[in-house]
Each structure stands twice: as structure tokens, then as C-alpha cells.
Structure 1
Amino acid sequence: MKTHSKPKKIKWGIIGLGSIASKFATDLLTIEDAELYAVGSRSQEKADEFAKKFGATKAYNSYEAIANDPNIDAVYIATPHALHKENALMCLENGIAVLGEKPFAMNAAEVDEMIAKAQEKNVLLMEALWTYFLPHYQYVLNLLENKTYGNILKIESNFGFARPYNTDARLFNKSMGGGSLLDIGIYPIFTALSTLGVPKNMDASATFFENGTDSTCSMTFDYANNIKAHLKSSLIEVLPTEAIFYCEKATIKINTMFHMPTTVSIIIDGKEDIKDFGYNTIGYNFEAIHFNQLLRKGKKESDIMTFDFSKQLIKTLDTVRSLIDLKY
């Protein structure tokens, strides 16, 4: 009788060992055909501690060591925004598939360079915007694409929390791409682009911290038929952090912390029906599973988080930065 052996596990490396890397590593452990093989930090102590916690085989004290390890199949890049491009290029140059945290890079020119390198080396590259792969978000996309409740009339999407201003923290460090727009404003922008596409016109205003990083950013995207998307991000104000799609026959609301595993409400004539998706992970496993599937099939680009979409996203961020006069 013929037996089918299990596929070889995809060996993952992680560059940058902050809080997002910990969440990704936690969920990677739930995936049968993947293993966390190596981690890289600029601190050996931090690398050792992270490797011990998540069972990684190798702990490196440099990002370069990860890129130079021939046993690694895929790398998750979780360094600060300003380092995304150089870290991605380093791995792609060595033929390692790259899943790079959002924002993909600091601007459209950097993203173009990364994509060009991936295509030159014929290596898989994808932006890690995890929300796109979450079942609740795919559920909402399906409702909207099929016009289950008619056309979208308006979108309201926001993401905000209050943190003490601290110039030592990456979140407030302008040279590292800190501020509300790139860190969390990308999520409300994503809700508009993934459902209505590129707007005809954009308007934006912002407030700033002393060091020039944006503390809030308010945006209005204009579409055909007078459809608008009202978007906001804030590091000084607690916002509902919901994504609401007002349609002709119902209101679809992705409830608080819409960007991560949550519930969806369908509201018709004041009656609310809440759909629970029974999540039992942090939510990073969905993008990792998709990436593993692409890698096993020999694909070089995601059919969900496409290069075109990543380009649209970063160009939109560039336009908003121009409107609010935010320069890095």
C-alpha cells in the first residue's frame, strides 16, 4: 500500500524581534507544515531569548546572518518601517522568499525597487497586510463584491488609541517612519482601497507632535456617484476602530479592532445580527498559510495581496503625506 509522506516543513526566519514578531511566531507554531527555524536581532541576548521562547533552531545577532542561511525558505520582516526595503532586498538577493510587514516600504519608489528585485531573482514577495486574509474581512468583501445589500453609499473607518508621547519609542520616531499614518492609518485606507478602489480625489489634514511625526490624520476619499470614504488615524485619541460600510439595503459593520480577528454586524432596519467567526489564534496564521501555499506552488506573487494592490496602497499613502506635508 502506497503511503504519502508529509510535505517537508517550510523553514521560516524572522528579522526584527519586536511585539509583532512575537505574535507572528506564536501563530506560526499552529501551522503544521511550517517551522520557525531562525531568528535575527541586533542583540544576541534578544535573539537567544526569542529563539528559546518559540523553539527556533538558530538565533543570530544580525539580520545579514538570516539572509545568508541557506536552510531558510521564507523570511518574515518585522523591523521598523524605514528598514523594510533594505532587509527585503538583502533576502531577495539570496533567493529567500519575503513576507514583509506593512507598510511594505517608506514610499512608492522603494516598493517598486523591491518588486523589481523579486522579479529579477524570480522569488516570492508579498506585503504582510494580515487583515486581507482574515475570514471576517474576506466575508465582508464577498458581501460587498456580490452587492448582497446593494451598492456602497459611504464608508467610515478609523483606528485610534492614546499613547504617552515618547521620542525613544519607534511609534514616535520620525526617522523610523513613526506617526499615525504609516503605522495605523494604513488600515482605514486599506478598507477603502480594497472595497472601492483608487479614489477620484483625496483630501487630508493632520496634527503633529513636536518632532514632526503626525499625531492624527483625517482623510476623505471621493468616488463616483458622490460616494465618500471618511477615514481617520490617531495616536492621541481613542477611536472606535471600526470599519462601517453603509449600503443601500443594510449597514455592514466590522466591530472594534476591525483590522484583527473580530465580529461583523449586519444592521437592517435597526436590527443587528452579529456574526462570530470563532477565531482561536491571534490571526497571523492566515497570511502565513496563504504564503506557504504560494511557496509550495512555485508562485512569485499573491493573488490576494497583489503587487498592483501594494503599489496602489503605497501611492495613496504618498499622496496623503503630500497633502499633509509630512516628509521623512
Structure 2
Amino acid sequence: MTAESVRWGILATGGIAAAFTADLVDLPDAEVVAVASRREETAKAFAERFGIPRAYGDWEALAQDADVDVVYVATPHSTHRAAAGLCLAAGRNVLCEKAFTLNTREAEELVALSREHGRFLMEAMWMYCNPLVRRLKTLVDDGAIGDVRTVQADFGLAGPFPPSHRLRDPAQGGGALLDLGVYPISFAQLLLGEPSDVAARAVLSDEGVDLQTGALLSWEGGALASVHCSITGGTATIASVTGSQGRIDIPSGFFHPDRFVLHRDGHDPEEFVADPADGPRNSLKHEAREVMRALRAGETESPLVPLDGSLAVMRTLDAIRDRIGVRYPDEDTAPELTPA
């Protein structure tokens, strides 16, 4: 890092990589210095689009670039372990897209690598860095609605997605759960921690990925979370948190809200609205700022997106896949899970 900026490398050139890079280049203390793809022409086109000085046709070259302070990994889930692991082993810090990996075993390997090499690692769960979501969590933690009793959240896309699409491809970790279900599950666990029990049902495609999944998560203290994800129908993407003394309702786009409403027993509803100074509701700048803050502070993980929390979400995703019977090609057998 220089005194003025943190130097980023971008690994992959798809839609989410473009969205993140577009937000990154607007930050005065961020500098995008390199991009890598498996095809040099693709990397060069991306570099030209965003004014990036170096373009690599392989991941290794980016991982070995000593001028890169942190790499943003935006490949499909199925290659997160390989891409992020390569960068960590080469001494690069890493921000890795969600779902963190295909399974808990791979996530544990990445965490172990980051700790072995003393490198920063964070899952790109941008929802956790959103200022309004952080405000909501503070209210819940401070007892604004009493003890949390239920959480409800959904995320579905209308499609239809053809069998050739990555969301239908088992080899790329396809299905609704890892792409979309990770959001409502992460939201529930942000407020309640890791569940003690998981029940789930799903509709599977001919390729063996989940087209839609519903799960009921439960906690020892009696709290429940009902979560749903789908790639066959566009859902409202709303969330609600009910406690013993009130509830909080989040309208469409709960994972990047522009407002939420607090209902406290005996009080008028109170609306919390995003600060316009924080930028558009779909901004990825908040997670980038958190990464750069942590790097400047010498931290190897973020308190907003802790690695233990990412591992806990992966364990829940594994448990749900166990219940619904989804396995990916060449995936190592996961630890035996207790049937629901």
C-alpha cells in the first residue's frame, strides 16, 4: 500500500467483477492496477474498459504481482478455493465473492491458508457492510425489539434460466442456494448466529441443482428463521425480524435496503432511511472501504464479516444441501450430518 491508495487486482471479468470495479475506481483511495482472466484477450478488454494498466491471461501472474495489495476474486463458486488459495499462498490479501466456497471443507482450507501466511481474507458479503443493515443489527443487539423470535427472508429470480446457464450447471456450483439463498441465511445468522438445527426441502432440476429451496432454521433459545430462494420466480426479496417486544420490516431488496421500519410495542412506527451520502443502495463501495480500512489497520480479518461467521454460514449451506440431496461433481464427501 502507498500512503495515498490501496492497490487492487481483479480476478475474473464477469458481471459482478465489472460492477465492483466500477464502484472501486470511484474511490479516491483505491487504485485498480491489474486484472486477470483465463483468456488474455478477455483480460485486456476489461483493462481497456476500466483503464487498468496490466492485464494477465492467467491467475498465477496476478497472484505473483507484488504491486497488488489485495485481490478481489469474482470467479464462480466452484473455483473460489483455487483462485483465492493461489493468491493467499503467493502473499496477496483476498476479498472473495460469496458464497465463500462450494463447501465448508474448502472454506476451512482458505481460512487456514490466510492464517498460515498472515494475510487478510474476507468473504464479499456486502450486505454486512451496508450502513443501514449495520444500523438494524445495532438496534436488534441493543434490544429494540426484545428477544428475537423469528426471522423471515427470501430471494428469488424469475428466470427462466436455460440448462446451459451457470445457475443450472452443477460444475459451477449452480442452483438457487449458493447464489441467492446465501443472502437470507447470512441475514438470519447475522442476527442469531449459527442455528442448532436445519430442515429443508427443494425442487431440483434435471441437472441436479436446486431450482427453489425452503429451509427452517432453529436455535436452542427457541428462535426460528424461515428462508426461501428460487431461480424459477421473482420473489419480493423482503425480510422481517420479530422479537418479544416488536419487529423490524425491510422492504424489497433487504440485502441492500434504502429503508426499514421499526415497530415497537406501544410506540408509533419509526422509519430509518439510508443516508444519501452513503451512495446508491446497490453500491459495493462499503465492502471495499471495509477491506481498505482493515488493511491499513493491519488486521487479517474484518469484524464486520468475520471468518468464523463465514464458516458458520457454509456449515448451514452444507446442512441444507445434505437435506435436499445436492452434490457437486468431484466434491469431496462432506462430514456426515444428522438427518432432519
TM-score range, shorter chain: over 0.9
Residues 42-96 of structure 1: CA distance to partner in whole angstroms, max 9, x if unpaired? 2333222221222211122222221121111100000000000010111111100
Three-state SS of the structure 1 residue aligned to 2:263 is strand
Instruction: Indicate the residue corresponding to 2:152 in structure 1.
Output: 156
Three-state SS of the structure 2 residue aligned to 1:226 is coil
- Judge conservation of contact 1:261–1:283 (CA < 8 Å) in 2: no
Q: 1:17-32 maps to which residues of 2 (within 5 A)?
A: 17-32=13-28
- Judge conservation of contact 1:16–1:79 (CA < 8 Å) in 2: yes
User: How many Å separate the matches in 2 of 1:147 and 1:271?
Assistant: 17
Is 1:9 aligned with 2:5? yes
Instruction: Indicate the residue corresponding to 1:117 in structure 2.
Output: 113
CA offset at residue 162 of structure 1? 1.2
Amino acid at match of 2:236: P
CA offset at residue 168 of structure 1? 2.1
Is 1:61 aligned with 2:57? yes
Instruction: Indicate the residue corresponding to 2:313 in structure 1.
Output: 313
Amino acid at match of 1:274: E
CA offset at residue 300 of structure 1? 1.2
List alignment gaps of at least 5 residues for structure 1.
1-5
Structure 1 runs (4+) deviating above 6 angstroms are: none
User: How many Å separate the matches in 1 of 2:145 and 2:85?
Assistant: 44
Instruction: Indicate the residue corresponding to 2:87 in structure 1.
Output: 91
- Judge conservation of contact 1:254–1:264 (CA < 8 Å) in 2: yes
Is 1:175 aligned with 2:174? no
Amino acid at match of 1:316: T
Is 1:280 aligned with 2:287? no
User: How many Å separate the matches in 1 of 2:322 and 2:226?
Assistant: 18
Moved more, 285-294 or 263-272: 263-272
Amino acid at match of 1:123: R
Instruction: Indicate the residue corresponding to 1:189 in structure 2.
Output: 185
Amino acid at match of 1:275: F
Instruction: Indicate the residue corresponding to 1:81 in structure 2.
Output: 77
Three-state SS of the structure 1 residue aligned to 2:101 is coil
User: How many Å separate the matches in 2 of 1:301 and 1:186?
Assistant: 20
Is 1:48 aligned with 2:44? yes
Instruction: Indicate the residue corresponding to 2:334 in structure 1.
Output: none
User: How many Å separate the matches in 2 of 1:315 and 1:149?
Assistant: 28
Moved more, 217-226 or 77-86: 217-226
Three-state SS of the structure 2 residue aligned to 1:126 is strand
User: How many Å separate the matches in 2 of 1:60 and 1:94?
Assistant: 16
- Judge conservation of contact 1:256–1:262 (CA < 8 Å) in 2: no
Instruction: Indicate the residue corresponding to 2:322 in structure 1.
Output: 322
User: How many Å separate the matches in 2 of 1:301 and 1:188?
Assistant: 23
**Superposition TM-score, scaled by structure 2 size:** 0.91
User: How many Å separate the matches in 1 of 2:105 and 2:220?
Assistant: 28
Moved more, 272-281 or 174-183: 272-281
Instruction: Indicate the residue corresponding to 1:143 in structure 2.
Output: 139
List alignment gaps of at least 5 residues for structure 2.
329-340
CA offset at residue 31 of structure 1? 1.7
Moved more, 217-226 or 229-238: 217-226
Task: State the superposition RMSD in angstroms.
Answer: 1.6
- Judge conservation of contact 2:175–2:211 (CA < 8 Å) in 1: yes
CA offset at residue 190 of structure 1? 0.6
Match of 2:230 among 231, 234, 245: 234
What percentage of residue pairs aligned between the two structures are identical? 33
Aligned residues: 323
